[in-house]
Amino acid sequence: MRAITAILALLTCTLPIAASAAVPAYISAAIADPARPADQVARDAHRKPAEVIAFAGLKPGSRVADFMPASGYFTRLFSRIVGAKGRVVAFTPAEELRNCSAEETAGIRAMAHNPRYRNISYVMGPVETFVPSMPLDMVWTSLNYHDLHDKFMGPANVAVFNQEVFAALKPGGVFLVIDHVAEAGSGLRDTERLHRIDPEAIKQEVEAAGFVLEGENDVLRNSADDHTTKSFDPIIRGRTDQVVLKFRKPSNSR
C-alpha cells in the first residue's frame, strides 16, 4: 500500500495539471459585461472563456498580450479583468493584415476608437518583432499558433517568435496556447491544409525556448472531432477538438 501511495505521489508531481480552476468573480463580471457584442456572447458556450481564463490565471492588475486577437473576443474580456491598473497589448502581425480579409480584424480595429478600452495598446508589426514595451505577466494566443507555420505568415521563424515571447515575460510569467488539434503524430503536417496542429509539436517548440509545461486543460476537448476536417468547415467550426496548454517561464530566468 505504501508503495502504491508513493507511485501516485510521483505521478501527481510529474503529470501536467488537468483540473479546472474555480472561476473568480472578476472573470464572471467581465463575461457578463453588457457592452460585449452579441455575436461574441453567443460563442461563449463553445469557447468557455470563464474556465480557460481561470486556468490561465489572469488577474486584475496584470499585463497581458493577446497575440493575433482577430475580432478581439478575448481582448475585450482581458481589458475588463485587468482593469485600470492593468494593461492589455493587442498585437496583430503585419502578415495577417496583408493576407487576411478586413472582416477578420474589424472587431479589434473598432475597439481602438472606443474609450471603454483605454487600457489596451494596439500594436502592429512583423510577427518576428514581438517586443512589447513593458514586461508582461502573460502572453495569450488562441487558435492561431498553427498559423505561424503557414505561408501567409511567411512562414514565421517560430523559434525566434517563441524566444521573443519568453523574453517579453517576467520571470514566472505564463504563455497560454489554445489551438485546433490535429491527428496524433502528425506534427506540423496539417497546419496549412486543415489549420490544425499536433499538440506535441506545440510543446516541443515552446519548451525549446525555455518554457516549462505547467498544465493542460481538457475543457475544450471534443472526442467527436476526428481531426480530418478543416477547422473552419461549417460542420465542425466552433466545435473543434482544442488543446489548452499553459507554459511558464521559470522564476529564475531573466
104 domain residue, yes or no: yes
Distance CA 125, CA 163 (A): 17
Strand, coil or helix: 172: strand
How many degrees, rounded to 5, is the angle at CA 19 between CA 17 and CA 21? 110
138 domain residue, yes or no: yes
Beta partners for 142?
A: 178
Q: Give the per-residue pLDDT at 21.
A: 67
Could you tell me the pLDDT band of residue 207, with boundaries at 50, 70 and 90?
Answer: very high
pLDDT average, residue stretch 171-190:
98
CATH number at residue 238: 3.40.50.150
pLDDT surpasses 70 at 8? no
Q: Kindly report the number of other CB atoms within 10 A of residue 103's CB atom.
A: 9
54 domain residue, yes or no: yes
pLDDT surpasses 60 at 159? yes
184 domain residue, yes or no: yes
Provide the percentage of residues in the chain whose pLDDT is more than 70. 91
Task: With CA atoms as reference, report the closest residue to 195 among 247, 138, 236.
Answer: 236
242 domain residue, yes or no: yes
Cα of 122 vs its chain's centroid, Å: 17
Distance CA 13, CA 113 (A): 47
Considering its fold, how many domains does the chain have in total? 1
pLDDT average, residue stretch 225-238:
97
Higher pLDDT, 104 or 192: 192
Q: Give the per-residue pLDDT at 105.
A: 76
Q: Give the per-residue pLDDT at 20.
A: 56
Q: What domain range includes position 24?
A: 2-248
